Amino acid sequence: MRKIAVLTSGGDAPGMNACIRSIVLTAEHFGIQVIGYKHGYNGLLEQEYLPLRPKNVLNLIQRGGTILRSGRCLSFKQVDSAKLAAKNLEALGIEALLVIGGDGSFHGACHLADYWQGQVIGLPGTIDNDISGIDATIGYYTAIETALESIDKVRDTADAFERIFLVEVMGRHAGFIGLSAALASAADQVLVPELCQDIHAELDNITQHVLAAHRQRGNSSYIIVTAENLWPGGVTSLAQMLSEKTKVECRVVILGHVQRGGSPVSQDRLLACKLGAFAVERALAGDNRIMVGEVNNQLVALPIQVSWESQKPLDPYLVKIQQEFFDITRKLNP
């Protein structure tokens, strides 16, 4: 193998740069050239790329974002786009394409593989942690840390004014960030899609829990962590309804894209280093249409379709203890 390519696609995640660095240094070790396509699949279609050598990734491991930039490319779903991408890869003599991204990016890689003879390998990079078959994705641990730091600061002002605060975290249709951040910050309540089956019943449940908490400890802060796009009408609508039902002022904090930024924490740097090196090794071994990941501290190479064939479940033990902690306040008498 003489030349491989790498791109970052979809939402950026802390640790993507660390992964690019690992790919480049591992490839250098094996005497393989690396080119980086810019702006995700858009760069692949427009043949927008740059050579990547060790000097290009110097002091990169601590930087958030991605030096290759990222982007979403709806047109890549078309057959003509996949054929053009294959033609561009062949023109440069690329033998394997490494895609750092989430399940949408992996779908794109599989689509390309239908029209290209080279190898495609997915590396899971998304703060959502919603890739099935593996323990964690690059960027997830940093997103938790960012959310946790913000919630701790919100708690200070919530205590000062004895308010309810709704803190909205990212995660699309997955509650991994929400559940982990809620437990780590000792939030009073967490709302994530996997655990909220009946929205109207949930509102009554929250109201009763707020009132129970106030009976036990008097007027005090109350923190609710909620996943984005969960509540009809948005988190502001939920805040208004809670204020009306509990007669306690409820404020909203939307963390938004701040969770995507920042220097990656050690867990994400280490995971990115391992997966980047392992992806190059699997490319050398001839693997195709795979996703690399880690399961129980062991590196694995799985069929790439595993990433979307089933919904990744929340950690059942974290769910269990969160519910137990929630129930304590509801059951105790003042």
**Residues with catalytic function:** 128
The sheet with strand 164-169 has its strands ordered as: 189-191, 222-227, 164-169, 250-254
Helix (H) or strand (E) holding 311: none
Give the C-alpha separation, 96 to 105, whole Å.
16
- Residue 280 and residue 291: Cα distance in Å, rounded? 12
Contact 187, 151 (CB under 8 A): yes
Cα distance from N-terminal residue to C-terminal residue, the chain: 70
Q: How far apart are CA 78 and CA 89, in angstroms?
A: 17
CA-CA distance, 334 to 194, in Å (whole number)?
31
Rounded Cα gap, residues 153 and 254, in angstroms: 13
Residues in the chain: 334
Which residue type is seen at 247?
K
Which neighbouring-strand residues pair with 120?
A: 97
What is the spatial distance between Cα 35 and Cα 28, in angstroms, rounded to a whole number?
Answer: 12
**Amino acid making up residue 34:** V
Instruction: Say what the alpha-carbon torsion angle 150, 144, 189, 253 is, to the nearest 10 degrees.
Output: 30
Burial class of residue 234 in the structure, from the number of CB atoms within 10 Å of its CB (0-12 exposed, 13-18 middle, 19+ buried): middle
Q: Could you give phi then psi for residue 33, rounded to 5 degrees?
A: -80, 145
| Sheet containing 3-8: order of strands | 49-52, 33-37, 3-8, 96-101, 119-124, 290-295, 298-303
